[in-house]
Structure 1
Amino acid sequence: MNLLKKNFNFKKNVFNNKNIFNKKINLSFEFFPPSKNKINKSFWIKIKKLSLFNPKFISVTYGENNGNRLKTYNFVNQIRYYTNLDSVPHMTCVYENKTELKKTALKYLNLGIKHIIALRGDYLEKSKKPNLYALDLVVLLKKIANFDISVAAYPEVHPEAKSAKFDLLNLKKKIDSGASQAITQFFFDIENFLRFRDKCSGIGINAKIIPGILPIYNFNQVYKFCLVSNIYVPEWLKSLYLKSNQNNKEKRLISMNISINMINELYKEGVYDFHLYTLNKLNFIFSLCNILKKI
């Protein structure tokens, strides 16, 4: 039985459990660069409120061929200017060559940024094949400076991978080439993550594997992404959203409950670092983290 389902109490939620975190957990957050009209004083007040949870870092996604690359650089710089939070840029390989990647890496290095999340990225045109992969980016970054590099991991296998073994060995190559930790694609089946962690250990991957947690703000949007990204959605979870008549507020309370239960169960399994995919829903994420802080 899925650990999350087994321990998810539909009548008595985890908000009342005061004994979940006797030890410190480490949070980090992912944001995408917001549009100019959304960056105002109120926005920065909300970002600064996240410092109450002492996040290890805030990562900023990297657009492919759509102007977001400069937005990523600017937003990373703004986070450093307006807050005391550690901002970590994503870098991707698609639509890039080694010369441009080196220029981007040196720009971040000149800002004093040495933590990079190195990703392959996806082409907008699905038929195109990358010339460079995340492994190539890890190697390139390490030649430029001693960057602290995070890479992606896929507990339920990357949808384009030839096999689960191929995917796992590719992760090992990235770690062996200089990446210091991996952040997983989000998931909803805890047992899949735990099996994946065991497999990583079994082939000699000793780097930290940080679970990516996606608090569900809009289930329909998340479900569509799961269908194209090889992410398993348990039937009981679908039933919570698709067969219920709760309003949006009630569904978001359920979402917080699910995320907290996931963190609780993973914590029991010796996981202390969690990366939250925020989708820039600042109020929602703050409420979730505030509950975590109190329990």
Structure 2
Amino acid sequence: MSPTLDQMREAQRALEAPMFAQVPGDIEVSFEFFPPKSEKMAETLWDSVQTLAPLGPRFVSVTYGAGGSTRERTHEAVRRIVGETAMPVAAHLTCVDATREEVNAVAQEYWDEGVRHIVALRGDPSDHDRGYRPHPDGYANAAELITGLKEVAPFDISVAAYPEMHPDSSDRQADLDNLKRKFDAGATRAITQFFFEPECFFDFRDKAAAAGIEGEIVPGIMPVMSFAAVQKMSGLCGTAIPHWMEGLFEGLDEKPEARQLVSATIAAELCRRLYAGGVRQFHFYTLNRAELSYAICHMLGVRAKA
């Protein structure tokens, strides 16, 4: 999908304007959290939820560990956000190591508790060395999971997308075909794996449109808490790290405040360039810390709602 003349003019204005001066805050944001492993981590999560809630996200999501390993903790976090905030909550749900009946039971319980949005994922195997193997009585993949969830209740469903291709896909076309199957099964939107170059997202968006995918594709933004941790995650999910990033974080391992400033600047500039290309929805991988995501949203013109 080629940019329109209006989009090209908007991009030119964004490049010529002072930093973020013409970003009017006409965007929608969402935030992702993970279930806490301890009481202290639970306090950090809840502090982050309360900090970001005033920004009026269109939803927040809570992740689900490999092999369903965090099922109960995910459910507890979802239940608390539903019960104590006004934010719509999306619960992650995977196919891994569970029968269809077990997955459907979890989905039904979410629906009964007021959850109307599911992030439907194939999921990572509990044993990475063995690779992904469908449960013999379970859903084989995300597209099958979506079909099953729609039979449970009319959920709003988000799915994952991979601008740089899922590591298990044979090629880019197969990866796009799989994404289209998820939309055809009933997905509302796709949230991308994190990336660090805007051209990566724009190229993927164009290829998705050429493949007949018409649903919403939301860029996933990962503010860098730790460069070493991002290197590890990038290696697992196939995300390319630009050569210039390592130099920017060099020497900041023991300087967390400086590292946060660098991280927020990098992520906010990525968002600004995506905005210039017509993007109006952003999904932030918070890692349960609110400061960076809040600062980036502020620079994008997002303010606390009344």
How far off is 1:36 after superposition? 4.3
CA distance in 1 between partners of 2:253 and 2:101 (Å): 54
* 2:37 pairs with 1:35: yes
* 2:227 pairs with 1:219: yes
Q: SS of the residue aligned with 1:59?
A: strand
Name the structure 1 match of 2:166.
Answer: 158
8 Å contact from structure 1 (residues 25, 273) kept in 2: yes
Name the structure 1 match of 2:217.
Answer: 209
- Given candidates 139, 147, 159, the residue that maps to 2:147 is 139
How far off is 1:83 after superposition? 1.2
How far off is 1:245 after superposition? 8.8
Name the structure 2 match of 1:106.
Answer: 108
Q: SS of the residue aligned with 2:223?
A: coil
What is the total number of aligned residue pairs between the two structures? 281
How far off is 1:45 after superposition? 4.7
How far off is 1:192 after superposition? 1.2
Q: SS of the residue aligned with 2:284?
A: strand
Matches within 5 A, 1:185-196: 185-196=193-204
What letter corresponds to residue 164 of structure 1 in structure 2? R
The TM-score with structure 2 as length reference comes to: 0.85
What letter corresponds to residue 32 of structure 1 in structure 2? F
8 Å contact from structure 1 (residues 53, 293) kept in 2: no
What letter corresponds to residue 139 of structure 1 in structure 2? T
How far off is 1:237 after superposition? 1.4
How far off is 1:224 after superposition? 1.5
Query: Structure 1 residues 103, 272: closer, same or farther in 2, change over 3 A?
Result: same
Query: Structure 1 residues 227, 83: closer, same or farther in 2, change over 3 A?
Result: same
The percent of aligned pairs where both chains have the same amino acid is 37
What letter corresponds to residue 132 of structure 2 in structure 1? K
How far off is 1:101 after superposition? 0.6
> Where does structure 1 lack aligned partners over 5 or more consecutive residues?
1-6, 8-15
8 Å contact from structure 1 (residues 215, 278) kept in 2: yes
Q: Write the deviation string for residues 23-47 of structure 1: whole angstroms up to 9, x where unpaired.
A: 5111100000113413667754542
8 Å contact from structure 2 (residues 32, 61) kept in 1: yes
Name the structure 1 match of 2:280.
Answer: 272
My pick for the range that moved more, 120-129 or 102-111, is 120-129
Name the structure 1 match of 2:119.
Answer: 117
CA-atom RMSD, angstroms? Answer: 2.2
Query: Structure 1 residues 220, 163: closer, same or farther in 2, change over 3 A?
Result: same
The TM-score with structure 1 as length reference comes to: 0.88
Q: SS of the residue aligned with 1:179?
A: coil
How far off is 1:287 after superposition? 3.5
Q: Write the deviation string for residues 94-125 of structure 1: whole angstroms up to 9, x where unpaired.
A: 11110101101100110121210000111121
Name the structure 2 match of 1:233.
Answer: 241
> Where does structure 2 lack aligned partners over 5 or more consecutive residues?
1-10, 12-17, 135-139
Q: Write the deviation string for residues 172-216 of structure 1: whole angstroms up to 9, x where unpaired.
A: 000011001100000012111101000111111000000000000
What letter corresponds to residue 211 of structure 2 in structure 1? I
CA distance in 1 between partners of 2:284 and 2:216 (Å): 16
What letter corresponds to residue 267 of structure 2 in structure 1? S
Query: Structure 1 residues 85, 242: closer, same or farther in 2, change over 3 A?
Result: same
